[in-house]
Structure 1
Amino acid sequence: MGHGGGGALSAELVEHLFAPAYGNETLSGLADSAAVTLGGARLAFSTDSYVVRPLFFPGGSIGDLAVNGTVNDLAMSGARPAYLSCAFILEEGIELSVVGKVAQAIGDAAATAGVSVVTGDTKVVDAGHGDGVFINTSGIGLIPEGVDIRPQRAVPGDVVIVSGPIGMHGVAIMSVREGLEFGVELISDTAPLGGLVEVMLTATPDLHALRDPTRGGLATALHEIASASGTGVALTERSVPVPEAVVNACGFLGLDPLYVANEGRLVAFVPREHADRVLAAMRTHPLGTGAAVIGECVAEHPGMVVARTGLGGTRVVDLPLGEQLPRIC
């Protein structure tokens, strides 16, 4: 299970097993989506699978995740998402009414994101060999001319910005799955981020790196960029926006909000001279009203993420082995 959690074990699986088998220059970038050229056009291409349990949760469903997750991976390359494929793997015995609700959620989410589901596939597995509904989506989008967003472009001096409060999706899933109550209903933040990225690109096309901190949370996303760029990241712990309900829930469950999954947030590495303008632009968009500067990219401790604590000390933010909360996307 740890190998599917988005942490160190997942990275080892990709680095030592998959990458050597598929090895090519495009894949070696290991971004959220691949940037490829076809017929003179620069396209972003991404695929993802969704096995979340339960299928429906406060703020969304596996259908919303299947659309938003892939759309957001495309947006992290600066692309304008356009088309999706959608494949269902259904367990024998699943009610058709449930499948219909998931399909409708996919259609509604696609309309909200401004994309079309143009092809798909359906398979059915024996009872006991699945978990109701699994979904795979792939997507393509067009990368505007002059946009070059990839983790290798992060450099010392870049300002690190997060688009809003973190930890809501993972805790919302856990609260429903385990029947826990924290005094307030926690709602998943699942949302398509393409519009927010477009607003950021109007402020400056020179965004260095973007990541949506899904499995493994904000800490893992920062580690991936630090590792790819050979730089360090210094967080200011008190500047990271975490809702009080998430703080309380994580305290109760023994979790660190930095490692909890999000499905409607992004983290951006922005040149310092553009940071104020990008932050102001983000705050004009509904999905960026809670945007905040949380740290900077530094030359020290390359490939590492450290957090400056409220007491004036510094702690290393390690890459987790697996996922604190399994089956959250």
Structure 2
Amino acid sequence: MTISSSARAKLPRLRDKTITLAHGSGGQAMQDLIAALFVSQFEGQLPTALEDQARIPLAELTAQGDRLAFTTDSYVVDPLFFPGGDIGSLAVNGTVNDLAVSGAVPRYLTCAMILEEGLPIDVLKQVVASMVTAAQQAGVKIVTGDTKVVPRGGADKLFINTAGVGVMRRGVTPAAVHIQPGDAVLVNGPIGNHGATILVAREQFALETEIHSDCQPLNGLVDAIVTACPAVRAMRDATRGGLATVLNEFAESAQVGIRLIEDDLPVDEAVRGLCELLGLDPLYLANEGKLVVVVPPDQADTVLAAMQTHPAGVHSRVIGHVIDGQRVALKTGFGTDRILDRLVGDQLPRIC
């Protein structure tokens, strides 16, 4: 919905400094919040932005592909703001990436917010502005949403749920079951940055080197990958549980083994140092801008070159290969194999 200058002048102004229970009552306070904060920011979306649903033209979608991809996710990250991103950009990019690694072109997002009574309005404005910027960067539209308010203590400041709709490209069907022995495994850059960033921000460690989250949209990088290799075996963004967890999921689904080469794993020195200090493993730390790609061996060099031409893939590497068996292993610098099992617990909760 595009708002004219005259209509914009009539938008209500928020006089409250914090969220109150009245903002979730369905009455005038709620309408003022929606109009002044969400409608004014999410303008330029669909004509039905003020209805209870988004109405999407099917012709526009079917012109791009033959199937729909649909996903949903919730975001409860603590703290709300961290170096390299915030809960708003995380919600948009996380949902965009879940669609992209399926081979879909992300198009539309929903946004539902659970607000705690007492949340500063300025904080909410900052989060909404971040979501708008992230959506523009990813080339998607936020087309419908919902707002709920819970009493003080009923939540932790702000939770966001997003759902996303994308269009599946014809002839592109990446899935873990397609992985075969001999395939190459690639990643688009240093791992563990997001998990390390949240840990530092939460515990307020004093470090000489500041670590930043890798929060970013990956749909442009996926475009480069599938253009270079439509027969890509599998793709997945390595979020909670990190790279090792994704590879275990791949191995289980395809009934194969995967061997990584330790010397080929990209890890920033600051992240490596933090992990050594705290006894953590970067292979299990969360990422929010990294994807794992598995391709046929004869396509590895082509895909790697295509990834390295994209800003989100400049530091891409081949990090291992698929082998017979059903275990994920890391070939260490000593020439021995270290088994990479699934995590039993959670190294760091509420990282997304």
Q: TM-score, normalised by structure 2?
A: 0.81
Q: Give the conservation status (yes or no) of the 8 Å contact 1:68–1:109.
A: yes
Query: 2:339 is matched with which residue: 299, 310, 316?
Result: 316
**Quick check: 1:283 aligned with 2:295?**
no
Structure 2 residue aligned with 1:201: 226
- CA-based RMSD of the aligned residues comes to 1.1
Name the amino acid aligned to 1:247: R
Q: Bigger radius of gyration, 1 or 2?
A: 2
Q: Give the conservation status (yes or no) of the 8 Å contact 1:182–1:249.
A: no
Q: Give the conservation status (yes or no) of the 8 Å contact 1:156–1:298.
A: yes
Name the amino acid aligned to 2:317: A
**In 2, Cα distance between equivalents of 1:148 and 1:270:** 12
**Quick check: 1:325 aligned with 2:310?**
no
Structure 2 residue aligned with 1:21: none
Query: 1:186 is matched with which residue: 181, 200, 211?
Result: 211
**In 2, Cα distance between equivalents of 1:230 and 1:180:** 41
Gaps (5+ residues) in structure 2?
A: 1-60
**In 1, Cα distance between equivalents of 2:162 and 2:343:** 26
Name the amino acid aligned to 1:170: G
Q: Give the conservation status (yes or no) of the 8 Å contact 2:174–2:232.
A: yes
**In 2, Cα distance between equivalents of 1:290 and 1:166:** 11
**In 2, Cα distance between equivalents of 1:182 and 1:226:** 37
Greater relative contact order (CA < 8 Å, ≥ 6 in sequence): 1
Runs of 4+ with deviation above 2 angstroms = 38-41
**In 2, Cα distance between equivalents of 1:225 and 1:85:** 29
Provide Cα deviations, 1:159-201, integer angstroms capped at 9, x if missing partner. 0000101111111111111111231110100000000000011
Q: How many residues align?
A: 290
Provide Cα deviations, 1:256-301, integer angstroms capped at 9, x if missing partner. 000000000100010001110000000000010100011011112x
**In 2, Cα distance between equivalents of 1:60 and 1:193:** 15
Q: Give the conservation status (yes or no) of the 8 Å contact 2:226–2:232.
A: yes
**In 2, Cα distance between equivalents of 1:154 and 1:86:** 34
Q: TM-score, normalised by structure 1?
A: 0.87
**In 2, Cα distance between equivalents of 1:89 and 1:115:** 22
Identical aligned residues as a percent: 55
Residue pairs, 1:244-263, within 5 angstroms? 244-263=269-288
> How far is 1:133 from its partner?
0.3
Query: 1:156 is matched with which residue: 178, 181, 195?
Result: 181
Q: Give the conservation status (yes or no) of the 8 Å contact 1:160–1:268.
A: yes
> How far is 1:326 from its partner?
1.1
**In 2, Cα distance between equivalents of 1:221 and 1:322:** 15
Residue pairs, 1:47-86, within 5 angstroms? 47-86=72-111
**In 1, Cα distance between equivalents of 2:149 and 2:279:** 38
Name the amino acid aligned to 2:177: Q
Provide Cα deviations, 1:127-160, integer angstroms capped at 9, x if missing partner. 1110000000000111111101111111111100
